[in-house]
Structure 1
């Protein structure tokens, strides 16, 4: 009886413990439900943006390379726009309904044909650009292997010719010839051509792009040259890897409205034929070439001349000063030392210069140049100069330089320009060498800071990215 009574007394405690155990999961469920209600109440801003705003954001995710940029890659799943299709259903719908996300495509037929048949490649390209609606298209298409040509390039390019605004085409010379009947290109504006092989014995220019009335910019790389094609005379910008001098002169004669030309020109010992081009405003000469062909040119509209590294300067450069005198130069830049650099060029032939940038000018030239630059000595020398850059010149900040710069801070004459920017870009140097330079030129650096206070907007002395002033 006692045993039964004790058992009965213990039973309520056991039942209470069981009830507690049963309530714990229920309580956890209540807490979970409360947390979920809180989460459901949170509104993520990105989910509330209108589709039009999301479309604009998506467009900023794209990287559209320039057609003259050789670093081209095809679409990948980890980059826009394909990446945007994988985030969620809403983003996929917005991306697929944003035409400007699908206006550019790079197609490497050599790689694609290793995995896919031609018809499937053509379908992929058609589907991709089909999402672009009626937007103008940019296509980058390359093919180095002859076997991929017949069904590849023609099947892709022909249906798109009417809609192409920009085109990069990198194929062999023989493949260019086989494309002669593709076109016309009514809205094509920018064209980059790369021939993977030379044209061999053929010298007949192709009319492939002659029916492109809006074509204005053309970039030639590798074996492609302007002489391979009949070009619309309205073209105003040309860039070439390699030209012989006679090709360059023929190009200027064929394109009377050309305004910008970039080329590496090789001397072919041609007989000078004087040519005057009335519209060319910018001329850039690449490394490895020559400047002797300039002796045959008169460019009265030329305002910008840029000479890159390794330009070959021949003995007896009188032709160069004569050429300069025929121009209206406002900017002159040389990225390579000019052995025959003369102050007389600037005094007699480049009086209208606004920007001047020289690489490693010699000590003798600098003494003469700074002497004439000082307006206290010669007020008529380079009266419009506003920007002056000396690169890789390890010379001290002496009194002649500071005096010349100081005289240019305040013109005091409405016909004379104030110097706005001076940069002396030194060789890269260690921290200890920079400290030593600063100590040796301490007083001059103080004078430089005073020039800034007087109105010199940009004053840099030191290696690129390290201003010791």
Structure 2
């Protein structure tokens, strides 16, 4: 068949189709709409986010989350909830990313005390992380509700039960519940926490909980075996009381003064050899802590309350030294001494932060000997108040590399005037960058003289700029101190000011 005949045949076949299209309403618009829809679908399918593999999109979701810890109940505009509302595909993907659902924080207050409802929400939220992904749970009772739960621990038992139901894949928990509500944690069998790495218990305390006849309300439960002692990955343990509103401001002094039954080794078992951080702010005997620390070869941070051992005499101490090669942070508190007994045993060459708070002056000889045998370079120091001038000289000449000094536990009057004068000249602590003090009116003039001298020396480049913070300023002293601070106004143009709290 010739080309001309073929063309005629095609036209004849297409003609009926043309008549059919002409019968449709506005055929040109219909055809345009179809083209537009096809084009729109093609563009949407080629959009960059449509071509991303789910694994990459999941990483973007994680990066877009402001924090991996979600406070429950979440706000309606929380980024994670927003992700689940964009489209069905994004929702399905977000619901299958364990990282987004594995860490929660819940705070119970008088305004938010529906524990059963919040427990159900927490359980459902964590279930989206699966049955194996490591979980993190933080929950506390705050404000007046903390005192309420102390009187009725059963109020939060359901939440503790929920925590226990996830024990096999908990990586971290931090619970601020009454001790009576936390007791089920101590009754779990060995091996209950195979993945636990860090744990914190912060039982709220009332004054009557400190009664010596009621110590079970606040101390670490007496038990020979615990699930915590068998947790193979635990590296951090913190047991710290939670201050609630009905307690006095000097809560720790009250605790230490009234806690006449300190802990003993058989009642306090943990996997000591694997711990990196240990914080225990209720008192144990100094010799108990020494026994424990001898097993803590990997310890980096130690924060504890110490009770003096009976009959301890420093001059007669012949106990072996305890070498903690990795210890960088040491914070000790005692009401009636006891810190020096522990310090006299320690060797800590990596120590950079030291805090010694106790009810009486700490013997400078112990600290000096500690530094001499350890050869550490101390950068952060919170001392007790060493009143004798000789003690101050010994301490701060030996700790010449200190960058941060906080002596807010004592007033400035508990340090000799010569200390402030030498500090101003730079004879002591030439590398000091931050000073936190609790001034009194009697020392205001010498303090301002010291600050002016340091700032002048810093302007000349001889020593670092010194940031000064006045804390705990009493109303009686405030007027005199503010008047003295006017002498430092000329330094404000250079950005130097004393912060007063």
Structure 1 residues 198, 462: CA separation in 2 closer, same or farther (over 3 Å shift)?
Answer: closer
Q: After superposition, where does 1:10-409 map in structure 2 within 5 Å? A: 55-56=61-62, 59-60=65-66, 63=69, 74-75=72-73, 78=76, 80=78, 84=82, 92-93=91-92, 95-105=94-104, 125=123, 128-131=126-129, 135-140=133-138, 145=153, 157=164, 160-161=167-168, 163-168=169-174, 172=180, 174-185=183-194, 187-194=195-202, 197-198=216-217, 203-222=222-241, 227-246=267-286, 247-269=288-310, 271=312, 274=319, 275-279=321-325, 280-286=327-333, 289-297=335-343, 298-301=346-349, 302-307=351-356, 311-314=358-361, 318-323=365-370, 325-327=372-374, 328-334=376-382, 339-340=387-388, 342-359=391-408, 360-362=411-413, 365-371=416-422, 374=425, 378=427, 381-382=428-429, 385-393=431-439, 394-395=444-445, 402-403=452-453, 405-407=455-457
Q: Secondary structure at the match of 2:224?
A: coil
1:438-463 Cα distance to aligned partner (Å, 9 max, x none):
65x2xx543x469x5xxxxx743252
- Whether the 8 Å CA contact 2:68–2:99 is kept in 1: the answer is no
> How far 1:270 sits from its partner (Å)?
5.4
Q: Secondary structure at the match of 2:274?
A: coil
Between stretches 124-133 and 235-244, larger displacement belongs to 124-133
Cα-Cα RMSD: 4.9
Please report the TM-score for the alignment, with normalisation by the length of structure 2.
Answer: 0.59
> How far 1:237 sits from its partner (Å)?
0.7
Structure 1 gaps of 5+ residues are: 1-46, 65-72, 413-417, 453-457, 465-469
> How far 1:220 sits from its partner (Å)?
1.1
> How far 1:240 sits from its partner (Å)?
1.2
1:411-437 Cα distance to aligned partner (Å, 9 max, x none):
77xxxxx32334253748899988854
- Whether the 8 Å CA contact 1:307–1:336 is kept in 2: the answer is yes
Structure 2 gaps of 5+ residues are: 1-46, 51-56, 141-148, 205-215, 243-261
- Whether the 8 Å CA contact 2:445–2:484 is kept in 1: the answer is no
1:308-346 Cα distance to aligned partner (Å, 9 max, x none):
6xx311587654554455552523433875545742233
- Whether the 8 Å CA contact 1:304–1:329 is kept in 2: the answer is no
> How far 1:113 sits from its partner (Å)?
7.6
Structure 1 residues 157, 337: CA separation in 2 closer, same or farther (over 3 Å shift)?
Answer: same
Alignment partners' CA distance in 1, 2:82 and 2:114: 23
Structure 1 residues 100, 176: CA separation in 2 closer, same or farther (over 3 Å shift)?
Answer: closer
Between stretches 250-259 and 198-207, larger displacement belongs to 198-207
Structure 1 residues 53, 395: CA separation in 2 closer, same or farther (over 3 Å shift)?
Answer: farther
Number of residues of Structure 1 aligned to a counterpart in Structure 2: 381
Alignment partners' CA distance in 1, 2:131 and 2:95: 11
> Which of these residues, 447, 463, 469, is aligned with residue 500 of structure 2?
463
Please report the TM-score for the alignment, with normalisation by the length of structure 1.
Answer: 0.62
Alignment partners' CA distance in 1, 2:434 and 2:129: 50
Alignment partners' CA distance in 2, 1:403 and 1:113: 58
